[in-house]
Amino acid sequence: MKEEQQDHFGQESIKLNEVRDFGKLLGAPFTFFRQEMKPLSRALLMYAGPFLLISQVLLGIFLQQIFTNVINNMTIWVNIFAYISLFFFFLILAFSMALTVINSYVILYEERGRDNFTLDDVWEMTKNNFFKVLGAQFLVLMLVIVGFVFCYVPGIYLQTALSFVNISMMKEKISFGEAFKRSFEIIRGEWWFIFGLTLVMGLILGFISYIFILPPYIAGIASAFTNTFSVTTKILIVVFVVLYFVFYLFMFSIQTILTDFEYYSLIEKKERPGLFNRIQAINQEIKKTEPEEVSVESRKNRFLSDDETNRFDKM
């Protein structure tokens, strides 16, 4: 089975309803993101960007407060706690919105085909699902945290087992409770496979992220040894930390797209919806080529010779 097919513009259109092995699933998110980078990035910046921007402004203020208090040997005051709390609040909103946007984009891509939907369609699906996804994210996070409290292993298991809650809730239009059960159902017998994929992808993206992590880390260590924070050092740290979170948004996109591809691959492997849809499409084409009204007699005679027809009539 071919992984890609040509659409009517002569460009490659990726088929989501396809069983993929480990290697293909690992490469599919990068292929998809590279193909859809412009419209998907535009959607992310339009809908998740404002929340991310606010969070980064708050982060800049927080870091400035930290620098000021370090230099003056002062205690960190309550206003710093307020800034960091607001930072995390808007950061959660940003990534919940990004998750909803990406899932909406992938679902529309699969249902309507490439170039057959607009950013308005993405926004329509996003706004209808955002608060459900936000609530689901909170509940899943609480369950995972509780799992980590109990010997760590249950948290790892739940984090992987519940990875399909959001995509199944949006794609199949079901409640959180149903999506919770559905995620366990989909991943049954495939937990180690999905865990391995997630781990490898996390290592790849984590390695890439060091491009943005190392410069402020080195600058911070150097300033700690000299016990001074120059203006250049402050600017360097703030710029690279902000760039890291912006870049992390796109790394998060790759991880989310991987989860979506895993979902479609496992659904196709276990339930074969893609095959069923293709059979339905063939049946529809056959119906279009047949006359609208064909008598039972003519249908019978089409497959019988004259002698067989006479014999059939005598029965």
pLDDT digits (tens, 9 = 90+) for 260-311: 999 999 999 988 755 555 555 555 556 556 555 444 454 445 444 455 445 4
Q: What span, in angstroms and rounded, lies between the C-alpha atoms of 144 and 162?
A: 9
Least confident piece of the model among 16-25, 189-198, 231-240, 266-275: 231-240
Residue 3 clears pLDDT 70, i.e. is over it: no
Q: Residue 249: what pLDDT?
A: 83
Residue 195: C-alpha distances to residues 160, 163, 170, 199 (Å): 6, 10, 22, 6
256, 133 Cβ separation under 8 angstroms = no
Residue 283 vs residue 158, higher pLDDT: 158
Least confident piece of the model among 116-120, 158-162, 168-172, 229-233: 229-233
* Burial per residue of 266-303, b for 16 or more beta-carbon CB atoms within 10 angstroms, e otherwise: bbbeeeeebeeeeeeeeeeeeeeeeeeeeeeeeeeeee
Least confident piece of the model among 57-66, 77-86, 153-162, 229-238: 229-238
Q: What span, in angstroms and rounded, lies between the C-alpha atoms of 303 and 305?
A: 7
Q: Highest mean pLDDT: which of 73-87, 91-105, 231-245, 289-303?
A: 91-105
Q: Residue 220: what pLDDT?
A: 63
What is the mean predicted confidence (pLDDT) over 79-97? 84
Confidence label for 84 from pLDDT (cuts 50, 70 and 90):
confident
- Tens digit of pLDDT for each residue in 32-48? 999 998 999 999 989 99
Q: Residue 115: what pLDDT?
A: 84
Q: What span, in angstroms and rounded, lies between the C-alpha atoms of 83 and 63?
A: 10
Q: Mean pLDDT of all residues in the chain?
A: 78
Q: What is the pTM of this model?
A: 0.75
What is the mean predicted confidence (pLDDT) over 87-95? 89
137, 159 Cβ separation under 8 angstroms = no
Residue 217 vs residue 122, higher pLDDT: 122
Q: Residue 170: what pLDDT?
A: 94
- Tens digit of pLDDT for each residue in 95-150? 999 999 999 999 999 999 888 899 999 999 999 999 999 999 898 888 888 888 87
Cross-strand pairs, 12: 6
Share of the chain above pLDDT 90, in %: 38
Burial of residue 182 (CB within 10 Å: 0-12, 13-18, 19+) is buried
